[in-house]
Structure 1
Amino acid sequence: MIHLEHLNKFFMFRGQRKYVARDVNLKLPSGVSIGLLGRNGAGKSTLLRMIAGTVEPNSGRVRTSGAISWPVGLASGTHPDLTGAQNTRFLARVYGVDGDELVDFVMRFAELGNHFHQPVRNYSSGMRARLGFGVSMGIRFDTYLVDEVTSVGDEVFKHKSQAVFRARMKEAGAIVVTHSPQMMRGMCEAGMVLNEGRLTYFENIDDAIRYNSSLLK
């Protein structure tokens, strides 16, 4: 369960407040894959960080229950001086899962080859995304936070990523950010739209997509 209670978050831009969340009150259902839409700069990534607990709101709070992933695609939780394999083992210890099993899963899934045993600081942004997504999918969370990461790589890798994601969604929920309506429909049941600090929830993802499109006209 994720409950946003009187959530306010803003940044100062040229002497004015730019709101990400403006007195948002919303209880998100458990076990549902929710697409998060909004124009560029609306604050979707910041909202994910607040839900993850890595960014503090100006006021209000986020109450959660169950295990929630880090925002995959924003920050994979990796240390740049450690290799992909070392980072994977470290995160396995943090989340209490079998290190060998997680390393084996990530190595097969992320398709990093010899780079898996090289420092993460040498990775491209796409390689970091593959590593972060692989680690998160290898750990069982109650809610996954995903930001555009399934759009990384060629078509084969994209299909593989979506297949693993759908398998996890049989037992968990998610909040997913993507600019692809097709991908959104394939991954999400419900949707919510962030616009000028207001967050609107829709039980049907197509309704959310239509509403978001109307705001972009």
Structure 2
Amino acid sequence: MITCVNLTKKYKTRSGFNVCIDDVSFSVQKGERLGILGKNGSGKSTLIRLIAGVDAPTSGHVKREMSVSWPLAFDGGFQGSLSGIDNIKFVSRIYGMDFKTCRDFVSDFSELGKSLWEPVKHYSSGMRSRLAFALTLSVDFDCVLIDEVISVGDSRFQQKCHDELFVKRPERSIILVSHHHDVVERYCTHAAVLKAGKLTICSDISSAYEEYENNA
């Protein structure tokens, strides 16, 4: 289970403190797929980064009783001067994985070919997303965090991503934040709405959509 307890995140601005996440509490069970709807600026990406541990909360905490991914397709952890292969090696060491197995999976899935031996700073945004997506899936996380990004590459590659994440791994928990109702409806079993840093848990996805449209 993942449990967020009274999560609050504030950023200091010239005009004072901006509260991005305001006293948010919820939990996600193993196998549950939670979709969080929110418009731009509602705090979705901040919440995902707090759950992942990429950012630290101002107050409150996240209790992780299962392994949690970094945000899917998040490439902020890449060392740009290193090649894709070297970044794969780094991740495999951190998570105690066999490098060859990890390398072969990422190479096959990302379809980056010889580019994997080039510095990541020379990659296009699409190439970086492919590498990050493949690296995320190479680690056997109990819960995958998705920040809007599920469409990487052309339609064929998007279908490949969909099958790998949602068809081949049905037992995985998912926390997905998006401002698209159809995305949440397609991929999630439960839903909530985030507005101005406040989270409302809804009884079903239809209720979440109504809350999102009327009040978000």
Question: So what's the TM-score if we normalise by structure 2?
Answer: 0.91
Task: Tell me what 2:170 maps to.
Answer: 170
State the Cα deviation string for residues 167-204 of structure 1 (Å, max 9, x = none).
35422201112343333222211122111121112353
Q: Where in structure 2 are the equivalents of 1:1-217 lying within 5 Å?
A: 1-75=1-75, 77-167=77-167, 169-216=169-216
- Structure 1 letter corresponding to 2:88: T
- Structure 2 letter corresponding to 1:147: D
User: Where do 5+ consecutive residues of structure 2 fail to align?
Assistant: none
Q: What is the Cα deviation at residue 215 of structure 1?
A: 3.0
- Structure 2 letter corresponding to 1:51: I
In 1, Cα distance between equivalents of 2:75 and 2:44:
14
Aligned partners of 1:50 and 1:57 also within 8 Å: yes
State the Cα deviation string for residues 19-41 of structure 1 (Å, max 9, x = none).
22212222222221111221101
- Structure 1 letter corresponding to 2:127: M
Taking structure 1 as reference, are residues 206 and 83 closer, same or farther at Cα in structure 2, changes over 3 Å only? Answer: farther
- Structure 2 letter corresponding to 1:35: G
Q: What is the Cα deviation at residue 127 of structure 1?
A: 1.4
- Structure 1 letter corresponding to 2:172: A
In 2, Cα distance between equivalents of 1:180 and 1:6:
26
In 1, Cα distance between equivalents of 2:14 and 2:213:
28
Taking structure 1 as reference, are residues 78 and 98 closer, same or farther at Cα in structure 2, changes over 3 Å only? Answer: same
In 2, Cα distance between equivalents of 1:212 and 1:8:
21
In 1, Cα distance between equivalents of 2:9 and 2:98:
37
More deviation, 184-193/33-42: 184-193
Taking structure 1 as reference, are residues 139 and 203 closer, same or farther at Cα in structure 2, changes over 3 Å only? Answer: farther
In 2, Cα distance between equivalents of 1:30 and 1:22:
25
In 2, Cα distance between equivalents of 1:197 and 1:76:
23
Q: Percent identity?
A: 37
Aligned partners of 1:76 and 1:128 also within 8 Å: no
Q: What is the Cα deviation at residue 120 of structure 1?
A: 0.6
Aligned partners of 2:191 and 2:204 also within 8 Å: yes
Aligned partners of 1:81 and 1:121 also within 8 Å: yes
Aligned partners of 2:39 and 2:179 also within 8 Å: no
Aligned partners of 1:67 and 1:141 also within 8 Å: yes
- Structure 1 letter corresponding to 2:185: R
Please report the RMSD computed on the Cα atoms of aligned residues, expressed in angstroms. Answer: 1.8
Aligned partners of 2:33 and 2:175 also within 8 Å: yes
SS, match of residue 133 in structure 1: helix
Question: So what's the TM-score if we normalise by structure 1?
Answer: 0.90
